[in-house]
A and B are shown apart, each in its own frame.
Chain A
Amino acid sequence: MNATVPRTGRPHVARFAKLRYDGARERHVLLGPETVVVLNPTGADILELCDGHHSVADIVDELGRRYDRVVDDEVTQFLARLAARRWVEIPDATNPDD
């Protein structure tokens, strides 16, 4: 599964999806045509860094700094799950226009 999450890839939220903060639920939510994903704080932090500029390795470093622990698997598994459902796209850095 991690083959779909190359450390050099620069993930971004899929163009059909919308990431926003929902005041009513006090959580970030990821919105799609028929689905709402209510995110926990870690998930929200990861997705906010999915801007097409940060690489997976950058996100792992940044999250590790924020939470002061190793988050490698947590980040890649989260991204792999979302990528499998096409919420997140992870073009490889070697092919940035992919």
Chain B
Amino acid sequence: MPRTPMTDGPLGVLAELTHACPLACAYCSNPLELTKRSDELSTDDWRRVLDQAAELGVLQCHLSGGEPLLRRDVVDIVAHASGLGMYTNLVTSAIGLSRPRAEALREAGLDHVQVSIQADEAVLSDRLAGISSFDKKIEAARLVKELDWPLTLNVVLHRQNIDRIEAILGWVEELGADRVELANTQYYGWALRNRAGLLPSREQLEHAEVVTRAARDRLRGRTEVIYVIPDYYSQYPKPCMGGWGSRQLVVGPEGDAWPCLAAHELPLPRANVNEHDLAWIWRSSPLFSAFRGTDWMPDPCASCERREVDLGGCRCQAFQLTGDMHRTDPVCVLSPDRHLVDEAVAAANSGPDSGAPASPGPAREPVLVPVPALVSRPHRAD
């Protein structure tokens, strides 16, 4: 059962249809500068991009954002991707997943729905999301199951919700989710700014891992339980995106293509689908060629026996923590910059309640930088 593709084409495309979102989570993956709705790709642009992606060998289309349901043409985009034989996956907050909308998406061929869950109950969930949304999410998750879609629940874990993991898994069971992704926050963009309020303590993580192992046993055969550890607590970095420009590509709302979700922060030349076709962007653009393979690696990666295992780790993390995107991922214990990670971990494990970092003002909870949300208006309204 070989799993290596026969061509060099990407397997999946992550289509970030919009940066607009009704939620305002402190770990939002949106860039710090949001694309205005009036600058978003049109429906025809997306159809062209998907055609080119299919020709390149793309087999999966993940529709994300922001909140992809804020695009009025999301049904047309799903229908197009599905018509090309792609496995289509909607990654949503579930806000806006009304019954008629859901039925139209089902009709259009949508294969899978991933609903984000912030916590196990409304008060905390709504505080984390910045909007009253928990009850709507639960209702939408039930609708997904009722329409006989496979359901994945996506849970971003951090120090303010990780202690609720048992109750969150209770919802997973009650809703009959087919998969759950319990993914610790990755510290880019907004999450990096809010890191002190998000990075869990070692004790919190150990508890979460015990609970997750038990749930995996209990739910075996019913629900696939995926747990992503926070790489700050790892010895070695993650092989980010399975290698730069190797398996996946991201297309943002304005048509910029990227090898990964966070790469827009890197000082690299842009590659936009309105200026080039996807085949050129994937195969020949300076952006996608920048960190392919292992030739770009500095030491300690260049001479390391793990260089083909973790592929130098994450370029975005290297850049965000050191200011130099060519350096070894500071998460690696062999990195000369590991102290940058150790300092953040130490801060998360000191202080009065086994780790709340010293925060300004009287609040015990660290202050989170508010994430701006684009108001959800039709394209022309901006």
The interface of chain A, by Cβ under 8 A from chain B, is: 15-16, 18, 20, 22, 24-27, 29, 31-33, 36-40, 43, 78, 81, 86
User: Given A16-B112, A18-B111, A27-B6, A33–B1 Cβ distance below 8 Å?
Assistant: no
* Nearest neighbor of B86 in chain A, beta-carbon distance: A31
Known: A31-B60, A33-B152, A36-B60. A24 touches B1 (CB 8 A): no
A33→B150 contact, CB < 8 A = yes
Per a CB cutoff under 8 Å, which of B57, B89, B111 touches A22? B57
Per-residue interface assignment for chain B, residues 1 to 35, with 1 indicating a CB less than 8 Å from any chain A CB and 0 otherwise: 11111110101100000000000000000000000
Q: Contact: B179 with A26, CB < 8 Å?
A: no
24 contacts across the A-B interface (CB closer than 8 A): A15-B150, A16-B150, A18-B87, A20-B85, A22-B85, A24-B9, A25-B6, A29-B59, A31-B59, A31-B60, A31-B87, A31-B111, A33-B87, A33-B89, A33-B114, A36-B5, A36-B12, A37-B1, A37-B3, A38-B3, A38-B5, A78-B1, A81-B1, A86-B224
Q: Give chain B's interface secondary structure class.
A: loop
Which residues from chain A contact B112 at a C-beta distance below 8 Å? Answer: 16, 33
Given contacts A18-B87, A31-B111, 4 further A-B contacts (CB under 8 A): A16-B111, A26-B6, A38-B2, A86-B224
A contact residues around B87 at 8 Å (CB) = 18, 31-33
Please, how many residues of chain B have a CB less than 8 angstroms from a CB on the other chain?
A: 28
Residues of chain B with a CB closer than 8 A to A31's CB: 59-60, 87, 111
CA distance A26 to B2 in the complex (A): 13
- Greatest chain B CB density within 10 A among A26, A36, A37, A40 is at A36
B221 contacts across to A, CB distance below 8 A: 86
Task: Give 5 nearest A-B pairs by CB, closest first.
Answer: A16-B150, A24-B57, A31-B87, A25-B6, A33-B112
Counting CB contacts under 8 A, is B175 at the interface? no
Q: Give the docked Cα–Cα distance between A20 and B179 (Å).
A: 22
With a cutoff of 8 Å between Cβ atoms, the chain A residues found around residue B85 in the complex are 20, 22
How many angstroms from the CA of A22 to the CA of B6 in the assembled complex? 10
Contacts of A37 in B (CB 8 A): 1, 3
Q: With contacts A33-B152, A38-B3 known, is A24 near B55, CB below 8 A?
A: yes
Please, which residue of chain B has its CB at the minimum distance from the CB of A29? B59
Contacts of A78 on B, CB cut-off 8 Å?
1
Distance in Å from the Cβ of A18 to the closest Cβ of chain B? 5
How many Å from the CB of B297 to the closest CB on chain A?
Answer: 27
User: Across the interface, which residues of B come within 8 angstroms of A33, CB to CB?
Assistant: 87, 89, 111-112, 114, 150, 152, 179
Contacts of A20 in B (CB 8 A): 85
For chain B, residues 235 to 284, give those with C-beta under 8 angstroms from any C-beta of chain A: none
Shortest beta-carbon distance from B326 to chain A in Å: 29
Per the bound structure, the CA–CA distance linking A32 and B60 in Å amounts to: 8
- Least Cβ–Cβ distance between B272 and chain A, in angstroms: 24
Provide the B167-185 mask, 1 if CB < 8 A to any CB of A, else 0. Answer: 0000000000011000000
What per-residue 1/0 map shows which CB atoms of B191-234 lie under 8 Å from chain A? 00000000000000000000000000000010010000000000
Q: How far is the CA of A16 from the CA of B60 in the complex (A)?
A: 13
State whether A36 and B59 are in contact (beta carbons under 8 Å apart), knowing that A20-B85, A26-B6 are contacts in the complex: yes
List B contacts of A43 (CB < 8 A). 1
A residues less than 8 Å from B102 (CB atoms) = none
Contact check, A24 vs B178: say whether CB atoms are below 8 A apart. no
B358 at the A interface (CB under 8 A): no
**Are B150 and A22 in contact, CB atoms less than 8 angstroms apart?**
no
* Any A CB within 8 A of the CB of B56: yes
Closest chain-A Cβ to B116's Cβ sits at a distance in Å of 15
- Whether B114 contacts A40 by the Cβ 8 Å rule is no
Contact between B179 and A36, CB atoms less than 8 A apart? no
Listed residue (A15, A16, A20, A78) with the most chain B CB atoms within 10 angstroms of its CB:
A16
* B2 CB contacts on chain A under 8 angstroms: 38, 40
Q: Which residues of A contact B6 (CB under 8 A)?
A: 25-27, 38
Residues of A within 8 A of B1 (CB): 37, 39-40, 43, 78, 81
Determine whether the beta carbon of B55 is less than 8 Å from that of A36: no
